[in-house]
């Protein structure tokens, strides 16, 4: 039963009893009976006034509570001129002003934080209580090469991605370096915040590719220059002595000296090979700036494929083409681009142990080239080091080819990746910006 009903019921019963008693007591004296009835009526009037004065603040509080419940902080009450009511109204209005100010401040902070997350140069993933991706900013989508619709609401463990696998293994407060697609290097850091009493994790992904590549190039460039200097200073005089000895005919007048002559000839050739070996490394360091001009991508790829057709035919490897109907013109150094394609196709041929296929595909809307081979694919342990200097999976490899490819493509500003999306398949992808 509501308080108002209780009050009215109490007043009605009390005055009914008073009426009955006045009638019983003063029924013989009409004047006193009328006087008692007047007093009872005045009492009822006073009770009604008290009812209004007592319940009005309660009604006011109920209206205020409903407004707060509906999160409507714009409802305020006007002073009535009654002291108690005005005190209550003043407290309520002050409280509403504080709540409105606090809500405005929180909304501004939320909008600022949301804008900061969306425009941050650092990739950010925010997880919910169940470790599902609740929010991911555009930078993270770009770094991880993902679509927002493909990851939102999904657990990290449900998404097949090498970087997300590394994130899953991280504990809160820890960080690590990861390499994606053999080219891009990221620093991932996992932390948490408290939301409604429970911990929620978030992950920051910072791109370190440019800094690492610059430091890496500076380090291996210094090593290569030092090695080339020492090798050239040694090979030059030694080859000069060997060559002079081989040209002195009276030394080789008898057949007994033939083994020595052959040994010197082998040493001379090996020295030349070593010199060529060092020159190849030095070419990576001394790579000139690209002289760019408009190049027809389809035509360039086809000419390189024709050049490598004979080598592929020796292993019964077929070439297939999926070129865009419209020509794709890119701004590039023709010779350096051809050098890249020769290295990529050569690696694809060598990756196929028997017969197989290499497919060349261009896409005009996406402005990209893919070279796909049916080789053994890329071992997971090797994927992160493929473009590192001196690293090679071949028995007699020098670790130069892909390093040179990387340097040329980076100097051109082309995005690229080398992946094995499926067993027995390797894809080299190059994306070209608008001219």
Would you write out the chain's pLDDT as a tens digit for each of its 435 residues? 666 677 778 777 887 887 777 777 776 777 777 777 778 788 887 877 777 666 666 677 777 777 777 777 777 777 777 777 777 778 878 888 888 888 888 888 888 888 888 888 889 999 988 889 999 999 988 888 888 888 888 888 888 888 888 888 888 888 888 877 666 778 899 998 888 788 889 999 987 765 666 666 666 666 666 666 666 667 777 777 777 777 777 676 666 677 777 777 777 777 776 776 666 666 665 667 888 999 999 999 999 998 888 888 888 899 999 999 888 999 999 888 988 898 899 888 988 888 889 999 999 999 999 999 988 777 554 555 555 555 455 555 445 667 778 888 888 889 888 888 777 888 999 999 886
How is 7-26 classified by DSSP, letter by letter?
HHHHHHHHHHHHHHHHHHHH
Residue 285 has a pLDDT of 58
Residue 65: name the closest of 344, 57, 196 by CA.
Answer: 57
Q: Who contacts 186 (Cβ-Cβ below 8 Å, separation ≥6)?
A: 123, 143, 163, 177, 178, 179, 180, 205, 206, 207, 208, 209
How far is the CA of 230 from the CAs of 27, 227, 235, 410, in angstroms?
137, 5, 9, 29
- The neighbouring-strand residues paired with 260 are none
**Cα–Cα distance for residue pair 29/232, rounded to 1 Å:** 142
Which token pair is 195? 């939301």
Number of neighbouring beta carbons within 10 Å of residue 347: 22
Residue 369 has a pLDDT of 95
* Cβ atoms of 204 and 188 closer than 8 Å: yes
Number of neighbouring beta carbons within 10 Å of residue 426: 22
How is 129-161 classified by DSSP, letter by letter?
TTSBEEEE-HHHHHHHT--HHHHTT-BGGGS--
Helix %, strand %, coil % for the chain, to 5? 55, 20, 25
DSSP code at position 126: E
Which token pair is 7? 């009050």
Which token pair is 310? 């004979």
Residue 224 has a pLDDT of 65
Residue 397 has a pLDDT of 47
* Cβ atoms of 292 and 333 closer than 8 Å: yes
Give CA angle at 94 (88, 95), nearest 5°.
Answer: 90
CA dihedral (306, 308, 313, 314) in degrees, to 10, reads: 150
**Cα–Cα distance for residue pair 54/21, rounded to 1 Å:** 28
Residue 192: name the closest of 171, 177, 206, 207 by CA.
Answer: 171
* Cβ atoms of 426 and 378 closer than 8 Å: yes
How far is the CA of 348 from the CAs of 226, 298, 351, 352, in angstroms?
32, 19, 5, 7
Residue 363 has a pLDDT of 93
């Amino acid at each position: 039963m509501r308080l108002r009903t209780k009050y009215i019921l109490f007043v009605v019963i009390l005055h009914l009893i008073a009426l009955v008693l006045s009638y019983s007591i003063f029924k013989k004296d009409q004047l006193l009976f009328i006087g008692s009835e007047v007093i009872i009526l005045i009492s009822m009037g006073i009770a009604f006034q008290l009812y209004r004065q007592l319940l009005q603040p309660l009604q006011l509080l109920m209206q205020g509570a409903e407004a707060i419940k509906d999160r409507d902080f714009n409802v305020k009450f006007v002073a009535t001129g009654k002291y108690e009511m005005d005190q209550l109204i003043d407290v309520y209005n002050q409280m509403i002003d504080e709540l409105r100010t606090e809500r405005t401040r929180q909304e501004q902070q939320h909008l600022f934080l949301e804008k900061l997350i969306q425009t941050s140069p650092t990739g950010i993933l925010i997880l919910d209580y169940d470790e599902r991706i609740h929010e991911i900013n555009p930078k993270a989508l770009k770094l991880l090469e993902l679509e927002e619709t493909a990851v939102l609401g999904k657990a990290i463990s449900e998404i097949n991605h090498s970087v997300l696998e590394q994130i899953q293994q991280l504990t809160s407060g820890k960080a690590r370096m990861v390499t994606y697609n053999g080219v891009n290097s990221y620093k991932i850091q996992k932390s948490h915040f408290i939301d409604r009493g429970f911990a929620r994790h978030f992950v920051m992904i910072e791109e370190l590719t440019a800094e690492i590549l610059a430091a890496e190039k500076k380090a291996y460039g210094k090593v290569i220059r030092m090695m080339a200097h020492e090798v050239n200073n040694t090979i030059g005089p030694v080859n000069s002595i060997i060559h002079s000895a081989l040209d002195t005919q009276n030394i080789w007048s008898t057949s007994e000296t033939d083994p020595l002559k052959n040994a010197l000839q082998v040493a001379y050739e090996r020295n030349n090979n070593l010199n060529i070996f060092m020159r190849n490394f030095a070419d990576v360091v001394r790579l000139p700036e690209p002289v760019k001009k408009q190049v027809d991508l389809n035509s360039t790829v086809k000419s390189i494929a024709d050049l490598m057709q004979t080598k592929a035919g020796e292993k019964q490897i077929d070439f297939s083409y999926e070129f865009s109907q419209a020509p794709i013109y890119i701004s590039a150094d023709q010779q350096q681009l051809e050098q890249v394609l020769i290295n990529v196709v050569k690696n694809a041929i060598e990756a196929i142990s028997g017969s197989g296929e290499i497919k060349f595909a261009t896409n005009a809307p996406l402005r990209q080239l893919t070279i796909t081979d049916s080789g053994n694919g890329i071992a997971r342990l090797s994927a992160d080091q493929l473009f590192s200097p001196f690293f090679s999976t071949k028995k007699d490899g020098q670790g130069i080819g892909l390093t040179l490819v990387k340097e040329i493509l980076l100097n051109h500003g082309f995005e690229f990746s080398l992946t094995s999306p499926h067993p027995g398949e390797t894809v080299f992808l190059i994306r070209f910006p608008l001219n």
